Chain A
Amino acid sequence: MMRQFARIPLPAATAVAAATLLAACGSGFDDDGDDAGSEATGATGGGSLTVMIGSSGEAETVAVQDAAARWAEESGTEVEVIPAQDLVQQLQQGFAGGNPPDVFYVSPDRFRMFAEAGSLYPYGDQIEDADDIYQPLRDAFTYEDELYCAPKDGGVHALVIDTEAWAAAGLTEADYPQNWDDLAAAAQALTTDGRVGLAFTGDYNPVGSFMLAGGGFFVNEEQTEVTADTPENLATLEYLKQNMDAGTFAFAPNIDAAWGGEALGSGKSAMTVEGAWIVGALQNDFPDRRWTAVPLPAGPGGQASTAFTNCWGIAADSENQTAAVELVNFLMSPEEQQTFAEAFGPIPSRSSLSDWNAETFPEKAAFAEGMENSRTQVAVPGFESVLADFNTQLEGMAAGTVTPEQALQTLQTNGEAALAQE
């Protein structure tokens, strides 16, 4: 029997086979050729584009797919829309492998990492009517004075109020809080047995909005310095701490709610601080809750809030950049932004649509107000772990094991270490 086998030296054959397989697997690594320069490549008509989105659900996926199909019909370029299971991870795989999707969502906190590495094609100068887009949203995607990509939507934190609880506490619309003292007083009036006045997710996002209103933030405007340990931020944390100790403010997890929306919807709190995503969540999960949203009350530093946005990133490695820019300009047009807003609820990033938005969706108006005074999330690479640690410090602050000073000092130290690694 043995003699029938061909006499190949087996270890050698194994090695050859393994090497072949390895080469095949690794082919994606080194073939990102010279075609991926800063010049736009490819031409319109023919060719194809891949669009990868981090979809919030079926409605968003279908809306983007429909819009892409409309454009594909017009332009003759095929478009495939892929809803990612885990956008961050799948994008990383694409970049590391040298074949990223052509167009994809980019969030502000990832943007700088992509931009620094030269993974994004900066097409800011080709965006039609770019000045119409809210300034803070453009700032979020500007690196070294160059706008890289078009913010596709935007919204800020607002104060969401349970109107029935509000009326039951003897308050009227005239009492909607204008400043922090009003807010504390309202929270006190709304606090009952089993319900706190104001509850919000105990993480850096809502606390960051309070810091902005208090005249501070995690980093400076240019994101080159950590500005955590400042008297303004300390005053903000002490304001929160004071009201939490009084039992009128709470972090949602401490009252057995996963986030602010659940706290408000389930009646565990009468007010919360959330972004526009709360609208759909309340409609779906707590349809009986009557609520309204008003702009966040002004703090010692004036009226300010965190803005949330995503942009349409185009890969530097894309072979069809001209077509990709055309697609993005199509999706950024006021008509398409309106279609998206109606389909799955994002707030348009164009300021010319603010009146239309306020009229069409009065319940969402507050989430678009004050966009001019907003800041977006910190973009410094490595800040994710730093802010995650700050969340832990905030938990400790709520539990009384960490003082506001300690929380800010730790944040300052960790943040400086992350910036130093730049």
Chain B
Amino acid sequence: MTATVTRETSADRTRPVRRRGISGHLRQERRAGWLFVAPAVIVLVVFLFAPILMAAWVSLLDWNGQSSPFSGDAEFVGLDNYRGLLLDAGLLRSDFMLSVRNTIYYVLFNVTGVVVVSFALALAVNSHVLRGRSFFRTIFYFPAITSSVAISVLFLFLFQGAGVVNVVLSWVGVDGPSWFTDPRGVLHIVFSWFGVDAAPGALADTSLGGLSLWDWFSGPSVAMCALITLTIWASSGTFMLFFLVGLQDIPVELEEATAIDGAGAWQRFRHLTLPLMRRSIVLVVTLALISSWQVFDQVFILSQGAPAKTTLTPAYISYVRSFGDGQFGVGAAVAFVLFAIIIVLTLVQRWVGRERRT
């Protein structure tokens, strides 16, 4: 508070006087500020910024992980790793493009799903009608504190060909697919209902990054849908808390006022709750977006990219190329391209969700 006061009072003074003010009391405060943030800054520098710089260096090397990357043993190849990833036709680029396609669908469905589900959960546990609210809050948060490995293994059993999901589906007469082995894209399946089984000429012939447009428009595979379900279920509890905090910040007076004005439940939700929750929604979308692009553990445990590479993700490619093929430079390059994608998308999303003043 003192700092604010100083700044406000000094604003009206002439410049030299203000400088003298800073040089005394304020400088000391600044120094104290630095001291207090120093532990966090040191941790960030040592465990975040330094490794990022090291990884950036590795991404410019042909390094097989058998020596120190800073000893000069590894050959410096400049941007070759990035070129192989983005430009040169080959296995690496086609794998990477497939993984980007898969992750785009994963992000799209996962972020949408998680926002809708966690918002609905938050509304439910915030409602005064519900009995035992704190019990349900705990229950819905449970998946978030369970290890993702345990959840993944559980889902593997649920989604087996003769697993629980398919048994339940068979009760309503649906013959479920063998989830984790079905490589068909859901959009392709939908197209085939309308008689479009093969790629129309234009889509088959035009390609982007070595992958035909028809393949880009495949939609998530059936296996990927199972993965998406898993992530939505596992992460909606955490995001429910974000929404719950937002909902509890909405003044009861406003709700009462709208109710007195005769607004129905839907109108109240649409014109009062949603606008006031915009900040929470932007936050959840941002966090879900970032974590979806980095999806790794479920893929590592459940599918290793199978079936037909439809659950391959950039993070998993980075791992396999590094530790499987001993191409750590390529792995690091994948990580940096992924980093760039996330930054760009987050900026776009921040811009779309920015506060507009009328």
Task: Spell out A's residues near B (CB within 8 Å).
Answer: 2-3, 5, 10-11, 13-14, 17-18, 21-22, 25, 29-30, 32, 88-89, 92, 95-96, 98, 113-114, 116-119, 253-254, 256, 381-386, 388-389, 391-392, 395-396, 399, 414, 417-418
B303-339 interface with A by 8 A CB criterion: 305-309, 320-321, 323-327
How many residues of chain B get a CB closer than 8 Å to chain A's CBs? Answer: 42
Q: Which of A3, A116, A256, A399 has the most CB of B within 10 A?
A: A256
Q: Is B4 an interface residue (CB 8 A)?
A: no
Chain A residues with Cβ below 8 Å from B90 are: 414, 417
Chain A residues with Cβ below 8 Å from B70 are: 29-30
Please state if A256 and B160 are interface contacts (CB–CB under 8 Å). Answer: yes
Please state if A381 and B326 are interface contacts (CB–CB under 8 Å). Answer: yes
A-B contact pairs, 6 of them (CB 8 A): A10-B31, A14-B41, A29-B71, A117-B64, A381-B326, A396-B308
Complex partner residue of B91 from A14, A89, A96, A385, CB under 8 angstroms: A385
A372 to B321, CA, bound (A): 33
Stretch from B42-50, B105-113, B140-148, B244-252 at the A interface = B42-50
Please state if B32 and A117 are interface contacts (CB–CB under 8 Å). Answer: no
Q: How far is the CB of B51 from chain A (nearest CB, A)?
A: 9
Q: A113-B64, A117-B67, A396-B308 are in contact. Are A14 and B320 (CB under 8 A)?
A: no
Please state if A21 and B42 are interface contacts (CB–CB under 8 Å). Answer: yes
A-B contact count (CB 8 A): 112
Please state if B65 and A92 are interface contacts (CB–CB under 8 Å). Answer: yes
Chain A residues with Cβ below 8 Å from B325 are: 381-385
Task: Spell out B's residues near A (CB within 8 Å).
Answer: 28-29, 31-32, 34-35, 38, 41-42, 45-46, 50, 64-71, 90-92, 95, 160-162, 178, 181, 183, 305-309, 320-321, 323-327
B74 and chain A: residue at smallest CB distance: A117
Please state if A96 and B38 are interface contacts (CB–CB under 8 Å). Answer: no
Q: A18-B46, A256-B178 are in contact. Are A30 and B34 (CB under 8 A)?
A: no
A397 to B300, CA, bound (A): 24
Q: How far is the CB of A398 from chain B (nearest CB, A)?
A: 10
Q: A2-B28, A256-B162 are in contact. Are A395 and B308 (CB under 8 A)?
A: yes
Please state if B308 and A392 are interface contacts (CB–CB under 8 Å). Answer: yes
Chain A residues with Cβ below 8 Å from B327 are: 381-382
Chain B residues with Cβ below 8 Å from A395 are: 183, 306-308
Q: How far is the CB of A104 from chain B (nearest CB, A)?
A: 14
Chain A residues with Cβ below 8 Å from B306 are: 253, 391-392, 395
Complex partner residue of A254 from B38, B46, B181, CB under 8 angstroms: B181
A17 to B95, CA, bound (A): 42
Complex partner residue of B68 from A29, A89, A389, CB under 8 angstroms: A29
A92 to B324, CA, bound (A): 10
Please state if A253 and B181 are interface contacts (CB–CB under 8 Å). Answer: yes
A256 to B71, CA, bound (A): 49
Please state if A14 and B34 are interface contacts (CB–CB under 8 Å). Answer: yes
A381 to B181, CA, bound (A): 28
Chain B residues with Cβ below 8 Å from A18 are: 42, 45-46
Q: Told that A96-B68, A385-B325, A391-B306 touch, could you supply 7 new A-B pairs with CB distance under 8 A?
A: A10-B35, A18-B42, A18-B46, A21-B42, A96-B66, A256-B178, A385-B91
Chain B residues with Cβ below 8 Å from A253 are: 178, 181, 306-307
Main secondary structure of the interface of A (DSSP, over half): helix
Please state if A22 and B28 are interface contacts (CB–CB under 8 Å). Answer: no
Please state if A385 and B95 are interface contacts (CB–CB under 8 Å). Answer: yes
Q: How far is the CB of A378 from chain B (nearest CB, A)?
A: 12
Chain B residues with Cβ below 8 Å from A92 are: 65, 323, 326
Please state if A385 and B321 are interface contacts (CB–CB under 8 Å). Answer: yes
A229 to B110, CA, bound (A): 41
A264 to B145, CA, bound (A): 37
Q: A95-B65, A117-B64, A388-B320 are in contact. Are A13 and B31 (CB under 8 A)?
A: no
Please state if B64 and A256 are interface contacts (CB–CB under 8 Å). Answer: no
Q: How far is the CB of B64 from chain A (nearest CB, A)?
A: 6
A96 and chain B: residue at smallest CB distance: B65
Q: How far is the CB of B204 from chain A (nearest CB, A)?
A: 13
Chain B residues with Cβ below 8 Å from A116 are: 64
Please state if A117 and B95 are interface contacts (CB–CB under 8 Å). Answer: no
A98 to B160, CA, bound (A): 44
Q: Which of A10, A116, A391 has the most CB of B within 10 A?
A: A10
Chain A residues with Cβ below 8 Å from B161 are: 256
Q: How far is the CB of A122 from chain B (nearest CB, A)?
A: 15
Please state if B324 and A385 are interface contacts (CB–CB under 8 Å). Answer: yes
Chain B residues with Cβ below 8 Å from A22 are: 46, 50
Complex partner residue of B69 from A96, A117, A391, CB under 8 angstroms: A96
Complex partner residue of A2 from B29, B46, B64, B160, CB under 8 angstroms: B29
Chain A residues with Cβ below 8 Å from B45 are: 14, 18
Q: How far is the CB of A202 from chain B (nearest CB, A)?
A: 9
A14 to B50, CA, bound (A): 14
A14 to B34, CA, bound (A): 9
Please state if A30 and B320 are interface contacts (CB–CB under 8 Å). Answer: no
Please state if B64 and A14 are interface contacts (CB–CB under 8 Å). Answer: no
Complex partner residue of A118 from B65, B66, B307, B308, CB under 8 angstroms: B66
A392 to B223, CA, bound (A): 14
Please state if B46 and A10 are interface contacts (CB–CB under 8 Å). Answer: no
A25 to B48, CA, bound (A): 13
B30 and chain A: residue at smallest CB distance: A10
Q: A14-B34, A14-B38, A18-B45 are in contact. Are A88 and B66 (CB under 8 A)?
A: no
A389 to B31, CA, bound (A): 57
Chain A residues with Cβ below 8 Å from B95 are: 385, 389
Please state if B91 and A386 are interface contacts (CB–CB under 8 Å). Answer: yes
Please state if B42 and A17 are interface contacts (CB–CB under 8 Å). Answer: yes
A2 and chain B: residue at smallest CB distance: B28
Please state if A95 and B66 are interface contacts (CB–CB under 8 Å). Answer: yes
Chain B residues with Cβ below 8 Å from A14 are: 34, 38, 41-42, 45
Please state if A88 and B67 are interface contacts (CB–CB under 8 Å). Answer: no
List 7 tightest A-B contacts by C-beta distance, closest first: A256-B161, A117-B66, A384-B324, A2-B28, A10-B34, A29-B68, A253-B181
Chain B residues with Cβ below 8 Å from A2 are: 28-29, 31-32
Please state if B324 and A5 are interface contacts (CB–CB under 8 Å). Answer: no
Chain B residues with Cβ below 8 Å from A385 are: 91-92, 95, 320-321, 324-325
B38 and chain A: residue at smallest CB distance: A14
Please state if A96 and B67 are interface contacts (CB–CB under 8 Å). Answer: yes
Q: A14-B34, A30-B70 are in contact. Are A21 and B308 (CB under 8 A)?
A: no
Q: A18-B42, A385-B321, A417-B90 are in contact. Are A32 and B68 (CB under 8 A)?
A: yes
B321 and chain A: residue at smallest CB distance: A385
Please state if B305 and A5 are interface contacts (CB–CB under 8 Å). Answer: no
Chain A residues with Cβ below 8 Å from B324 are: 88, 384-385
Chain A residues with Cβ below 8 Å from B308 are: 392, 395-396
A100 and chain B: residue at smallest CB distance: B66
Q: A88-B323, A113-B326, A385-B324 are in contact. Are A392 and B66 (CB under 8 A)?
A: no
Q: A253-B307, A395-B308 are in contact. Are A417 and B46 (CB under 8 A)?
A: no
Chain B residues with Cβ below 8 Å from A396 are: 308
A385 to B308, CA, bound (A): 13
